[in-house]
DNA sequence: CTCCATGCAAACACTTTGCAATCCG
DNA sequence: CGGATTGCAAAGTGTTTGCATGGAG
């Protein structure tokens, strides 16, 4: 609701026109905070309210919303670009934990990277502006399940 | 040279057959240690020595080599899968620094993540097995250039 | 009234698949 | 030999582009 006011304003500032389609796309992503919708999923959701919309509009709108800072493109290497809401106050991308067993994706709000980024600046002179961090492994539930299974089968 | 002996052995262990094509693909990636070749680039390079090879073979071989631990698939979101050599002794993926200006990609050998991974295990119970970490920003050269430019234009 | 934005369909780029021929074991 | 592997071409998938129409400013 507050973000939508911003949308018109930011579009205007960048010389973009304010259209119902652009609002609709942002609405959808905002309504699914915490999820990582693919472009196709966003397309399907937008079409529920806006049946005449075309795919091309979705594919043209998402990069605009990203440029304006409303959303982040994320990539879980499943063959399509996904998007998540850039929450207000969020200064950079958060990390993701991907469970290899149940495929659940968890967000890590803590940054925890400052020390590393300092070291990298020291060692490489590389000035870091943002990062993309994914951790692969087992979530608590799947890990517990694994351990139980192992104990059941342990010998003498 | 030493890895190529391993290839035959590992293929055999997994029940795969030893073929000239599989050796050729690994040869190419090994000959380009430090680079991040796309499947198409690998295809072109393999064809230099092996003109009759088909693309499909490349696309079928690369996942096999990854499964056997010879290479890693990496993703720089440029629309194609790239591969880098999994060096002997390397226990997990190293990080990449991507310069937004000159597009150079630098490898960070230091891990630097143990502390974070411990914290994540503590806070989320998530048992991390591997990670994919990319840092975006400016490399030393581009950063220096930027600063120089700024100073030239600074007012009184 | 002027362009930017949209919808549609065709075009794209990368990757996968089906199938007969081929080669490893 | 028998089945895995290959090469070829066709098919897929997600995304982009060209173009005429429509709508914002």
pLDDT at B16: 98
| Residue B45 CA distance to nucleotide D7 C1' (Å) | 17
Section B135-148 average pLDDT = 91
Q: How many domains does chain A have?
A: 2
> Counting Cβ atoms within 10 Å, is residue A154 exposed (0-12), middle (13-18) or buried (19+)?
exposed
CB distance A117–B133 less than 8 Å? no
Tens-place pLDDT, residues A38-74 = 999 999 999 999 999 999 999 999 999 999 999 999 9
Nearest residue to nucleotide C7, by CA–C1' distance, is A54
DSSP state letter for B96: E
Task: List the nucleotides on chain C closer than 7 A to a protein CB.
Answer: 4-9, 13-18, 23-25
Residues A53 and A117 grouped into a single domain: no
Tens-place pLDDT, residues B11-45 = 999 999 999 999 999 999 999 999 999 999 999 99
- With a CB cutoff of 8 Å and minimum separation 6, the contacts of B118 are none
Residues B72 and B123 grouped into a single domain: no
Residues B8 and B67 grouped into a single domain: yes
Tens-place pLDDT, residues B82-117 = 999 999 989 899 999 999 999 999 999 888 899 999
Residues A121 and A82 grouped into a single domain: no
In the Cβ-directed half-sphere of A42, how many Cα atoms lie within 13 Å? 36
Residues A104 and A85 grouped into a single domain: no
Residues A9 and A78 grouped into a single domain: yes
Residues A62 and A8 grouped into a single domain: yes
- Which nucleotide is closest to A78, CA to C1'? D14
Query: If you write DSSP's letter for every residue of chain A in order, what string do you get?
Result: -HHHHHHHHHHHHTTPPP-HHHHHHHHHHHHTTT--EEHHHHHHHHHHH-TT--HHHHHHHHHHHHHTTSEEEE--SSSS-EEEE--TT--SPPEEEEETTT--EEEE-----HHHHHHHHHHH--EEEEEEEEEEEE-HHHHHHHHHHHHHT---
Chain A positions contacting chain B at CB under 8 Å are 73, 75, 77, 97, 99-100, 106, 108, 110, 112-113, 115-117, 119-120, 123-140, 143
Domain CATH number, residue A1: 1.10.10.10
- With a CB cutoff of 8 Å and minimum separation 6, the contacts of A124 are B97, B106, B108, B139, B140
Domain termination residue (choose one: B67, B90, B113):
B90
Domain termination residue (choose one: B66, B90, B114):
B90
Task: List the nucleotides on chain D closer than 7 A to a protein CB.
Answer: 4-9, 13-18, 23-25
Residues A64 and A141 grouped into a single domain: no
B/e letters for B126-142, b = 16+ CB within 10 Å, e = fewer, are bbbeebbbbbbbbbeeb
Residues B121 and B54 grouped into a single domain: no
**Cα separation values, B127 from A51, B48, B89, B91, Å:** 43, 44, 22, 16
Domain termination residue (choose one: B90, B125, B140):
B90
Domain CATH number, residue A137: 3.30.1490.190
Tens-place pLDDT, residues B40-73 = 999 999 999 999 999 999 999 999 999 999 999 9
Instruction: Give the domain range for residue A9.
Output: 1-90
Residues B69 and B98 grouped into a single domain: no
Residues B6 and B36 grouped into a single domain: yes
pLDDT bin (cut points 50, 70, 90) of residue A156 is very low
Q: Cα separation of B63 and B59, whole Å?
A: 7
Residues A129 and A144 grouped into a single domain: yes
How far from the centroid of its chain's Cα atoms is residue A93's Cα?
A: 8
Q: Of residues 15 to 54 in chain B, which lie within 7 A of strand C by their beta carbon?
A: 17-20, 38-40
Nearest residue to nucleotide C22, by CA–C1' distance, is B19
CB distance B129–A137 less than 8 Å? yes
pTM for the whole structure: 0.90
């Amino acid at each position: 609701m507050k973000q939508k006011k911003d949308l018109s304003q930011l579009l205007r500032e960048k010389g973009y026109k304010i259209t119902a389609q652009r609002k609709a796309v942002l609405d959808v992503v905002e309504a699914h905070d915490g999820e990582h919708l693919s472009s196709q999923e966003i397309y399907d959701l937008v079409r529920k309210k806006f049946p005449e919309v075309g795919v091309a509009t979705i594919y043209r709108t998402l990069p605009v919303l990203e440029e304006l800072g409303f959303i982040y493109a994320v990539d879980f290497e499943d063959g399509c670009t996904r998007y998540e809401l850039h929450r207000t106050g969020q200064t950079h991308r958060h990390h993701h934990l991907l469970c290899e067993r149940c495929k659940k994706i968890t967000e890590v709000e803590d940054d925890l990277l400052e020390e590393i980024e300092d070291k990298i600046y020291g060692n490489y002179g590389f000035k870091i502006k943002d990062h993309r961090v994914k951790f692969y492994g087992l979530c608590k539930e799947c890990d517990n399940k694994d351990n139980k299974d192992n104990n059941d089968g342990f010998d003498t």
